[in-house]
Amino acid sequence: MRLKYSIVFIFCITLCSCKVQRVAVNPVSTSPLVTQGPLWGAVWQQKAAEYKALCFQAYNTARLRLDLILNESHSRPPAIVTDIDETILDNSPYQVHSSLKNEEYTDSSWIIWTKKVECDTVPGALSFFQYAKSRGVEVFYITNRLEEERPQTLKELQRWNFPDATNDHLILKTAGSGKGPRRDKVAANFDIVMLFGDNLSDFSAVFDKKELDDRDSQTRINAAMFGSTFIVLPNVMYGDWEGALYRYQHQLSPAAKDSIIKGQLQKY
């Protein structure tokens, strides 16, 4: 009888040990913020009603402002300049895919995603831009997608029926990431009445590749522009806000970026 109980006891201990081994996971600290942080941001973007509410708030405000602006006289045809990603198109599935593989952004993996032409629209975006076009406003898309992404980008805009989804209204990245020179080309023939984006550099060159303190300072200086001429969409997955934390040293390893970021955070 004792032998029987001993065998059962040893079996139970062995079974429990196996179960513990099967569910063991790596500590959270082994997952860098720069690869896992965007996943949490994507969860918020895909599932939080608050995200949708902020987007609707931005585009509702934009419609009110546009109506007021169009009551004014303009020497040239009015135009709107908008960013694409996370401003009118939702790329959160890409962030989920990359984070689950514990990988950072790369041009090659991004292009694999855009070729799928599977973006959803940002809440409120499509109806606003269709409304703007109905009021006689030209829409220009200035994006840092690469020139080789032109076919799929046009296809994506066209399948959702965004206005002015044509080659001459789609201005992609050919040199640096700064959008100032491209905005200037539009401004040569049009009166840019509003700008839309999820990144401060979508609005003015004063924000281009600036450090944290400069970004904060310029945001305060230009406070009156937000909600009137500058319409900002929420994006906690990526952007210059992240790059500024490690001074745009994108070549650093995830662990190095992680250390820099954590070293700047306020804690108790």
Residue 10 in this model has a pLDDT that exceeds 90:
no
Q: Average pLDDT of 40-45?
A: 98
Tokens read off for 75: 């020497």
β-pair partners for 226: 230
Give residue 36's pLDDT. 96
- State pLDDT tens for residues 247-262: 999 999 999 999 999 9
Tokens read off for 264: 């700047």
Give residue 62's pLDDT. 98
Determine the angle formed by the axes of helices 125-134 and 49-70, rounding to 10 degrees.
Answer: 10
Give the other-Cβ count within 10 Å of 61's Cβ.
Answer: 15
- State pLDDT tens for residues 110-156: 999 999 999 999 999 999 999 999 999 999 999 999 999 999 999 99
Domains of the chain, each with CATH number or no CATH: 30-264 (3.40.50.1000)
Tell me phi and psi for residue 162, to 5 degrees: -70, 140
How many angstroms separate the CA atoms of 14 and 234, rounded? Answer: 51
Residue 83 in this model has a pLDDT that exceeds 80:
yes
Quick one: pLDDT band at residue 12, thresholds 50, 70, 90?
very low
- State pLDDT tens for residues 226-244: 999 999 999 999 999 999 9
